Amino acid sequence: MLPLLPALRELIPSSLAGFFWINACGELRNLYVERLPPPELARGCRGGTREYELAFRRSFVACAESPDEIAALRATEPDGDHVLCAIARTHAGALGQLRLYRRAEMGPFGERERSDLASVMHYVSHGVADAGRLPHDQLAFAYEDCDEEAMIVTDCQGAIHFASEKGLQLLLLATVRDIGPASLGAPIGEGAARAIKLLCGKLTASARGVEVTPAVTLDSPWGRFVLRGYRLSDGQRGEARIGLRIQRQVPMILRFVDAMGRQPLSPQQREIALQIALGRSNQEIAAHMGVSLNTVAYHIKQLFLRLNVHTRGEAVEKIAWREPALEPG
C-alpha cells in the first residue's frame, strides 16, 4: 500500500488515500491511511469507534452491492471530504475497499475519475490478493533505504520523550500487524517498547567496547524498517537520552519496476522482465501468464534483442542500474 496509494493519487488527483481490509462478514479488520491520526487524537475518538465501524460497514455493504463498480460519495459537511470508493475483489469475494479523498475545495470526483479508477481496480485487486506471496529470491527480498525517516528521543528504559507525528507513524507501522482503534490509540505498543529496549541495550554494549552494530531491523506487513541508535547525552541510569533514527526500507524490486517504466518496452516485455527479476523459470512464467513455453521464449528473445544483452542477469542489471533509457526506435 505504501507505494500504491501515492501512485493512485497521481492517476486520480486527490488529497489522501487509504485501504480498508474487510473480513467475510463485512467487518473492518485492518486499515492503512496515508496520514494515520496521532495517538492522542485516536484515543479521543475511541468512544465513537463503534459508531464509526457501523457507519463504515453500511457504506462498504452499499458499495459492494451497488451495480456501479465505483461509488463517489459527496461531502456531507462544509469542510468534509469528497470520497471515491472501489471494492477490491477476487472470484472468492471482496478483499477490502479502496478510498480516495478530496478536500471540499478541490471539488467532487467526476465520471473521468470514476472511469480511471475502474480501469486499474483489477490490478489493485490482484496486488492485494498476492501481497506477501513473492518468491524468496535475491532481488525481491533485497532492500534499500528510502527518504521516509524520522527521529525519536527516548531514555535507556525505552520511554519516549519526543517523537514527531511521522516518527510515531513509522514506529507503529514497524511494530504493529493490524492497525485499528486499539493500536492507533496506544502511545507505544509492546512491540515498539521491546525494539527500543533492544536498541538501547546494543548502545550500552557498544559503549562498553563490545563489537555490536547499534541498529535493529524490524519486518512487518507494512514493510521493513531500521532503527539506528545514537547516544545524545550521558547521565544516570534511565536519564541518558537516546536518539533513534527510524527509516523505512523499500524492496529493490520496486526500484526495478520504476526503472522499467522509463524504458520503451512493450507490455509483454515489461511483464517478462519483471518475471525474470523475480527469479522465475520459463515454466513458471508460462503458468503465471497463461501462455505456452514457446511464447515465453519468443518474448525473452525479443527483450534481449531490445536491451542488447545475452543473459537474464544482464537484462535485470541494464534495466535497473546500468543504463539510461533506451532511445525509441
Closest CA to 205 of 170, 161, 271, 156: 156
DSSP states along 93-156: EEEEEEEEEE-GGG----HHHHHHHHHHHHHHHHHHHHTT-----TTTT-EEEEEEEEEEEEET
| CA gap 222, 148 in Å, rounded | 13
298-323 burial, b at 16+ Cβ within 10 Å, e below that, comes to ebbeebbebbebeebeebbebbbeee
Judged by average pLDDT, the poorest of 14-18, 259-263, 308-312 is 259-263
Domains of the chain: 4-130 (3.30.450.40), 143-250 (3.30.450.20), 261-322 (1.10.10.10)
Mean pLDDT of 21-30: 76
Q: Cell numbers for 11, please give them.
A: 492517476
Contacts of 299 (CB under 8 A, 6+ apart): 268, 269, 272
Burial of 135 (0-12, 13-18, 19+ CB in 10 A): exposed
Most confident of 86-95, 106-115, 178-187, 208-217: 106-115
CA separation for the pair 196, 177 (Å, rounded): 17
Q: Is 222 helix (H, G, I), strand (E, B) or coil?
A: coil
The pLDDT of residue 89: 84
Q: What is the pLDDT of residues 203-235, one digit of tens each?
A: 888 878 888 888 899 988 888 899 998 888 776
- Paired sense of beta strands 160-163 and 143-155, if any: antiparallel
Q: What's the rounded Cα separation, in Å, for the pair 284 and 296?
A: 10
- Per-residue pLDDT for 26 more than 50? yes
What are the pLDDT digits (tens) for 253-267? 777 887 887 788 888
pLDDT for 99-141, tens place per residue? Answer: 999 988 888 898 999 899 989 998 888 888 876 554 444 555 5
Give the CA distances from residue 61 to residues 17, 64, 67, 175, 195, in Å, rounded to whole numbers and listed in that order: 20, 5, 12, 31, 39
CA distance 176 to 28: 16
pLDDT at 199 over 70: yes
Averaged pLDDT for residues 156-162 = 82
4-13, 88-97, 273-282: segment of lowest average pLDDT: 88-97
**Confidence at residue 329, expressed as pLDDT on a 0 to 100 scale:** 45
Q: What is the mean pLDDT of the chain?
A: 80
Rounded to the nearest 10 degrees, how much is the dihedral formed by the CA atoms of 268, 269, 274, 280? 80
Look at residue 47 in the predicted model and tell me its pLDDT: 47
